Structure 1
């Protein structure tokens, strides 16, 4: 027969258990261990668990460049991690920056991609996406214009603040925003690469959507350079110079004054006239709305917008 346990020894054993540190029981391993997500920590994340960025302002990707990047990734991998954020109550992630790298990785047949996880709000994710895109050189002019517009509308940024965040000149920001005043048909030409940013900025000097659209059609049909477009637009804005009327010597424009006048027109996108008499005169800037007027004030440094 087995000896009966001594109750005192049982009590003593319990007392020792209360004094000695307990070793926690090791939990059984989970059959599918989810990665521990920490903000800023590089992870290898499955590409099929990363959703597209809903705040992306870029709409077009050069297929040839994407194939080149895919070939590079096949050979050397992804050098710079993409940035994502964890979706709540889900094992999925949402892309913030690095869409080209993600698309190229899929083309290269990669199942995982190095990623940095950030804990950011919708607003922060949107701002990071837009600013990162604007710092790149391969956005078309209309994509840049819409990106600046979103920063102004959604984040109430001034043009000065946008310039600081993206490393651009304030005047450059203003010129891109002005592209949104172009008729939609002309915006499409700029977005498709049929007209350049220089062409579009020059056409903005015309005073109506109809005249801009008609001029854009002719510029494209005749394959005009930006300089030729400037001359053509100047002629449309100053039809009196085409008439065969004798011009008095006093009405002759000094070449330096004329060049300054054209420079101002290109910079402001508005009709500018300089009346100069022996170094004295006046500068006349025509505007067709409050937005044009505000742009003049900003250019002169009289107002923050």
Structure 2
């Protein structure tokens, strides 16, 4: 990797809004008129979609809502584009493809743009940053976008975490979605499973079976986590001399279930004549944070 990467994550990590504020539009471009915001206007036919955009699906209902808004108020946020190799008057979208599509549906002939001279690498970075920060990507698209950066531009997970402003564990767990069975990936892609469900699936021994149960039963993330924990506990070898949960009385089992349902985590209650032990198991720092938020005073 080139040495220039050493300072790039800090700059890109500031987010797309800060980057757009730093960008100076090119002095010349065909048939452009400057606006008071410093952006320029381009005919929609001069603009093409990005080949590297990690965003593949555009929700029809949301696109129609945006189309109606643009028809009424216009495009409020400029598209970010770069000169294309397909011709001197052609510009490729870096960020803002949904706005461009909606503008065409609304019958607009021109859209505001900011033009930036960037290579493929930085264009892909900016596209992913905008989509991730705007929460426009489904979990699988996000994972595929991260995979593109790693495969095409030799990013490490640490570099990528700095670039997009996420934790390294978030990047690692998101990339693990690419190892899920194809049927599970399709469920994520179609929105049948959420990002919260996905975090449970990547730690499951049988993610396909768990995913089917989640979808068929319409389980919440907490319910899915509890179901996963129950399966893990059932497969765990029992220490010698320790009673299995099946030997516990009905009241203890009922209380365990109530606590597990309330926390969305695996709870074990070992009650004896003069006291006992309450054990709450968590698998992620997010789950630990949730426990702390409930127990510690604000």
Q: TM-score range by the shorter chain?
A: 0.5 to 0.7
Aligned CA distance change for structure 1 residues 104 and 239 (closer, same or farther; 3 Å): same
Deviation, 1:151, is 2.0
Task: Identify which of 71, 84, 89 aligns with 1:74.
Answer: 71
Q: Secondary structure at the match of 2:53?
A: coil
- For the Cα contact (< 8 Å) 2:32–2:40, is it kept in 1? no
- Name the structure 2 match of 1:193: 191
Q: Deviations over 1:200-246 (max 9, x none)?
A: 22122223xxx221221122212222222222222322325897754
Once the two structures are TM-superposed, the CA of residue 58 in structure 1 deviates from its matched residue by 0.7
Where relative contact order (Cα < 8 A, 6+ residues apart) is larger, the structure is: 2
Q: 1:264 to 1:101 in 2, by over 3 A?
A: closer
1:190–1:196 Cα contact (<8 Å) kept: yes
- Aligned equivalents of 1:264 and 1:164: distance in 2? 21
Contact 2:79 2:95 in 1 (8 A): yes
Secondary structure of the 2:283 match is helix
TM-score, normalized by length of structure 1? 0.65
Q: Post-superposition shift, 1:189?
A: 0.7
Q: CA deviation at 1:91?
A: 1.9
- CA, structure 1 residues 135+266, in 2 after alignment: closer, same or farther (shift >3 Å)? closer
Q: Following TM superposition, by how much is the alpha carbon of 1:126 offset from its aligned partner in structure 2, in angstroms? A: 1.9
Residues 213 and 42 of structure 1, relative CA distance in 2, 3 Å threshold: same
CA contact (8 A) 2:95 2:127 kept: yes
- Secondary structure of the 1:219 match is helix
> Is 1:99 matched with 2:119?
no
TM value normalised by structure 2: 0.67
Counterparts of 1:80 and 1:240 in 2: how far apart (Å)? Answer: 53
1:55 paired with 2:75, answer: no
CA RMSD of superposed structures (Å): 3.1
Question: Which blocks of at least 5 consecutive residues in structure 2 are unaligned?
Answer: 1-28, 239-243, 249-268, 288-298
How much does 1:97 deviate?
1.0
CA distance in 2, matches of 1:63, 1:107: 12
Q: Secondary structure at the match of 2:50?
A: coil
User: How far apart are the structure 1 equivalents of 2:245 and 2:277?
Assistant: 20
> Is it true that 1:122 corresponds to 2:142 in the alignment?
no
| Whole-Å separation in 2 of the counterparts to 1:162 and 1:198 | 21
Q: Which has the larger radius of gyration?
A: 1
